[in-house]
Amino acid sequence: MTGSNCLAVHLNMTKAGDYDSGRSDILRRGRNTKAVPRQKKHYCLARFSILLTAVALVAGTMGCGSAPDLEIRNWHDLYAIRDNLDGHCLLMNDLDSTTAGYAEFANSEANQGKGWQPIGTSDDPFTGTFEGQGYEIRDVFINRPDESPVGLFGAVDVEGVVRNVRIVNANVMGEWAVGGLVGENWGEVYNSYADGAVSGTDSVGGLVGGNAGCVSSSSSAANVTGHWDVGGLVGCSDSYGTVSNSYSVGNVTGEWAVGGLMGGNLGGIVDKSYSTGGVTGEDYVGGLTGDNQGTLSNSYSSSSVTGEWYVGGLVGDNDSSGIVSNSYASGSVTGYSFVGGLVGSNWGAVSNSFWDIDTSGVTESDGGTGKTTVEMNDIVTFSEEDWNIIAVASGQTDPAYIWNIVAGQAYPFLSWQPLS
């Protein structure tokens, strides 16, 4: 699928349009979990039923059914996608504040001050293919604090694909399921990027707000603000959501379930991903993810993390279903109670994972092994735990291995990641 690690999709799923996504169907995460931490309730989109009757590989081909191709050259063309939600859309050039249609559709005065109207809703989502060809969409403004889902695309359904597009200098505000590119994703987001500012209440992410699909080879430098399930790349990922080969470098601020990459991982998969931006929250705050109930592997965080309860350099709280393996944290960690260099509170499984006791300022963790900076720069630390790692020269990578390290000089890094 477009070269991503999302190898299969589930067929006969309940589509985004098959449920009422109104406020009454969203169970907010309450702060009473501080008093009763094991009675957490976990919903990030609406509670939905998934009927898995078949799994199939889907080719990311250029055509999308019988719908005609749509060439996007200005904001008028982009806006018109909502009239052909199953079409194949091809972005032909950058769009910005000087491009025709910006004042009408995407600036701060458009639509009575609400700005851009997201493409696709939960009841009528985007099911086509949007091919960005690496072009940028700049300066989009969205001010819809009482609306959900919100993003350049509001909702992308199971068949939908958004790829190879860059969202630059966005200013996006919504209620729940808010993202710089996609508010609610059930499909595939591949090789895409967002920066700017994204804010909302629940399930707020720099690139994607609520994820029940695939996000891969993507990144965010957006600064993200919200209340619950707030993440630098993805706000909240459902049990069918995957995030791989992706990263976030923006700062993240929230209250509950706040993470540098993802706020809440509710049973999904995070693999070969990392975060570097600062993370600030109250409860369940982690450098990579605040609340982990899924599988987190071959990932790291160098984010500085500040919180109150359940605060960790990598994961704030690892639930009983949470699995953390072959990962590490190297950022500073500050909190009041249940504070760990790698994991603040652990009820699941943590294996072959480490944190830096020097840079974190924390000598304890509920899972993982603390090492000095010198030890964290030593390949032996990781090879002895069967990491898929090899030493490389400075400025070089070896993609045959998951991890590379310039021995004695730096921490391990993922072989796919951009070199600074």
Picking from 367, 370, 394, 396, the residue whose alpha carbon sits closest to that of residue 381 is 370
In the block, residue with structure tokens 């979990």: 33
One-letter amino acid for residue 356 of the chain: D
Q: Could you give the residue ranges of the DSSP H alpha helices within 86-184?
A: 102-105, 110-113
Assigned domain for 309 exists: no
Residue 6 has what pLDDT? 54
Residue 402 falls inside a structural domain: yes
**Residue 397: which domain range?**
389-420
Question: Which pTM value belongs to this model?
Answer: 0.88
pLDDT for 77-136, tens place per residue?
A: 999 999 999 999 999 999 999 999 999 999 999 999 999 999 999 999 999 999 999 999
Classify residue 24 as left (phi > 0), alpha (psi -120 to 50) or beta. alpha
Are the CB atoms for 200 and 142 separated by under 8 Å?
Answer: no
- DSSP element (H, E) containing 381: helix 379-383
DSSP letters spanning 243-269: EES-EE-S-EE-SEEEESSEEEESS-E
| Residues across the chain | 420
- Cβ count near 161 (within 10 Å): 26
- Does a structural domain hold residue 95? no
Q: Is residue 300 part of a domain?
A: no
**In this structure, are residues 304 and 277 in contact, taking their beta carbons and an 8 Å threshold?**
no
pLDDT, residue 418, reads: 83
Any domain includes 175: no
* 409 belongs to a structural domain: yes
Number of domains in the chain: 1
* 416: in domain: yes
How many Å apart are CA 26 and CA 235, to the nearest integer? 15
pLDDT tens, per residue, the chain with 420 residues:
444 445 343 333 333 333 233 322 223 343 333 332 323 333 344 333 332 222 233 333 333 334 447 999 999 999 999 999 999 999 999 999 999 999 999 999 999 999 999 999 999 999 999 999 999 999 999 999 999 999 999 999 999 999 999 999 999 999 999 999 999 999 999 999 999 999 999 999 999 999 999 999 999 999 999 999 999 999 999 999 999 999 999 999 999 999 999 999 999 999 999 999 999 999 999 999 999 999 999 999 999 999 999 999 999 999 999 999 999 999 999 999 999 999 999 999 999 999 999 999 999 999 999 999 999 999 999 999 999 999 999 999 999 999 999 989 999 999 999 876
What is d(CA 198, CA 189) in angstroms, rounded to the nearest whole number? 18
Buried b / exposed e over 270-295, threshold 16 CB at 10 Å, is: bbbbbbbbbbbbbbbbbbbbbbbbbb
Decide if 414 is inside a domain.
yes
Contact by Cβ (8 Å): 406, 415: no
